[in-house]
Amino acid sequence: MTTAQLQGAYGFSISGNPNFTNIGYMTQTHVNNYGGSHGLEHMEKFVSFSAFHNSPIQDPDRKCHPGTRLGVLNRIRNWFNNTTSAERAFWLHGPAGAGKSAIAQTIARSCNQGQVAATFFFYRSDTSRNDGNCLFTTIAWQLAFLIPGVKDHIARALDRRPDLPRMDVETQFEEFILRPFQALKNVSTHLRSHVVIIDGVDECIDDKLQRRFLKLIGNAIKDNHIPLRFLICSRPEAHIQETIDRFPKPNLQIDLASLDDANHDIEKYLKDEFSRIASEQDLDSTTWPGHEKIQQVIYKSSGQFIYASTVIRCVSDEYNSAVAQLDIILGLKPPSSKSPFAELDALFMDILERQPDQAFLMTFLALLVARLSITPDSNQRAGNDDFHLDDAMVMNVSEYELHRKLRFFARFVSFWPILHGPRNRTKTIPRLNHRFSCSVRRENNQTA
């Protein structure tokens, strides 16, 4: 619009959100004034900027060590690059400390600009990142600045209803994501496919809200008008799995607990990091820490990077001897102050406290501690021991009910299938995270 178009006009004012249309010979001019620099001011304070993958709050070291997780990263990248893939959702899951966030961060930071449309990294102990009510406003904000047409539609919606960011997640998803893309699809048949990364779904403080926003995503990917695909990372919580299982097929999944290359990757990570520490502390890397001690750390990691990274963080403390710190970790000498794994133990205890059926939890943990006292290595089991059946009988519940309740322990336990009985029926036995079993035993000793 030019000043010439209003030349000679008087006695009027322009306010609100005017939309001028000048229809001339093969010409249309649309002028929008949303009352601000970008029209999204009403949304801004409901956006969790800390949840962006590249926000300054994110841990810069939370990424895959070079040369590790190559199989998982390649599978995800291949899915990213195949914009016509029939699978519109990819669920990456694994127990606490398996490295999900590191993988998600590595993917988000390494993809080409525009491939990742938006990111949200939940974190339970940070109030700026644990509220699922901010999920879709945060995603919509990022989409708006990536896709101009989306921003125009969101700005118009906010001008009509400035209170939309205060509405429920269903309304937010409808107004900020579905309708803008549906409108764009009406004027363009060639919308580029983008990926949204949502990490740590289980870190959202409201389990019911987790179900609700996952259900919205599952419904949206049925709609070809929505050119979005979703990489979702979480622990294998029962309610999350049940919701994602209802997503339209096909979709992709990776269970980090079931992969065979975790120990190999942890070994590479430990060797590289111990070599770095040896160089920094003038140690002979050909003799320290040695093959046997590295293998001990790998074994105690139980396939989970969080244990290995905690070891390295402790051993690399510049104010202490790396040799002494590693001996403390391996139990060769007592700690001088608090346990090197205090934070990791606190993580496990926090998860246990969130189990809704505390009576069942206490009974099962008592059985678990008793079993550990008889067989300290919970991972070395005879294939014909049917622990589910024994525990069900002791706890006076059906084996089915016990199995349902034990889904909670997917945070700590890998359930591997074995063939059992004369007909070789498949059943599962638990393989406990080593650090978790240590935490349980110590907690039991402290409360006994």
pLDDT digits (tens, 9 = 90+) for 150-195: 999 999 999 999 999 999 999 999 999 999 998 887 766 567 889 9
What pLDDT, in 10s, does the model give residues 381-433? 433 345 556 777 878 888 777 777 776 665 555 444 433 344 444 444 445 55
> What's the one-letter identity of residue 263?
N
Residues 66, 174, single domain; the answer is: yes
Arithmetic mean of pLDDT, 68-95:
94
CB 109 within 8 A of CB 64: no
Residues 227, 272, single domain; the answer is: no
CB 195 within 8 A of CB 232: no
- Of 223, 255, 287, the domain-final residue: 255
Within a domain: 216: yes
Residues 329, 311, single domain; the answer is: yes
Helices 305-315 and 291-301, packing angle to 10 deg: 130
Tally of CB atoms within 10 A around 7: 7
Q: Which long-range contacts (CB under 8 A, 24 or more apart) does 338-341 make?
A: 340/310, 340/311, 340/314, 341/307, 341/310, 341/435, 341/438, 341/439
Arithmetic mean of pLDDT, 311-324:
90
> Order of strands across the sheet with 228-234?
116-121, 194-199, 228-234, 89-93, 252-255
Within a domain: 7: no
Within a domain: 3: no
Residues 265, 212, single domain; the answer is: no
C-alpha to C-alpha distance for 85 and 391, rounded to whole angstroms: 44
Which is nearest to 273 in space by CA: 9, 25, 66?
66
Task: Say what the pLDDT of residue 387 is.
Answer: 56
CB 255 within 8 A of CB 94: yes
Arithmetic mean of pLDDT, 35-56:
86
Residues 311, 363, single domain; the answer is: no
Residues 347, 206, single domain; the answer is: no
What pLDDT, in 10s, does the model give residues 210-237? 999 999 999 999 987 789 999 999 999 9
Sign of the torsion angle spanned by Cα atoms 170, 175, 181, 183? positive
CB 159 within 8 A of CB 152: no
CB 251 within 8 A of CB 89: yes
Burial-class residue 178 by CB neighbours within 10 Å (0-12, 13-18, 19+).
middle
Return the ∠ at Cα 223 (arms to 219 and 227), rounded to 5°. Answer: 110
Residue given tokens 């790396």 in the structure block: 322
Within a domain: 174: yes
- Of 255, 281, 314, the domain-final residue: 255
Within a domain: 15: no
> What's the one-letter identity of residue 226?
I
Arithmetic mean of pLDDT, 24-28:
35
| CATH code of 168's domain | 3.40.50.300
Residues 348, 359, single domain; the answer is: no
What pLDDT, in 10s, does the model give residues 119-141? 999 999 899 999 999 999 999 99
Tally of CB atoms within 10 A around 151: 20
Residues 184, 201, single domain; the answer is: yes
C-alpha to C-alpha distance for 287 and 275, rounded to whole angstroms: 10
Which is nearest to 106 in space by CA: 93, 116, 91, 94?
116
Task: Say what the pLDDT of residue 25 is.
Answer: 32
Task: Say what the pLDDT of residue 383 is.
Answer: 39
Residues 87, 234, single domain; the answer is: yes
Q: How many residues does the chain have?
A: 448
Residue 217: which domain range?
40-255
Q: How many domains does the chain have?
A: 3
Residue 31, beta-bridge partner list: 20
C-alpha to C-alpha distance for 96 and 303, rounded to whole angstroms: 11
- Of 229, 255, 281, the domain-final residue: 255
User: What global pTM score does this model have?
Assistant: 0.77
Arithmetic mean of pLDDT, 291-302:
91
- Cis before 250 (ω within 30): yes
Within a domain: 434: yes
Residue given tokens 């096909």 in the structure block: 250
CB 437 within 8 A of CB 378: yes
Within a domain: 16: no
Conformation bin of residue 424: beta by default, left when phi > 0, alpha when psi is -120 to 50: left
Taking every pair of Cα atoms in the chain, the longest distance, rounded to a whole number of angstroms, is 97
Residue given tokens 């539609």 in the structure block: 153
Burial-class residue 326 by CB neighbours within 10 Å (0-12, 13-18, 19+).
buried
- 438 or 2: whose pLDDT is higher? 438
C-alpha to C-alpha distance for 251 and 264, rounded to whole angstroms: 28
Label residue 360 by pLDDT band (50, 70, 90): confident
Residues 294, 242, single domain; the answer is: no
Within a domain: 84: yes
Residues 225, 175, single domain; the answer is: yes
Residues 73, 102, single domain; the answer is: yes
Q: Which residues of 349-387 are buried (b: 16+ CB within 10 A; e: fewer)?
A: eebbeebeeeebbebbbeebbebbeeeeebbebeeeeeb
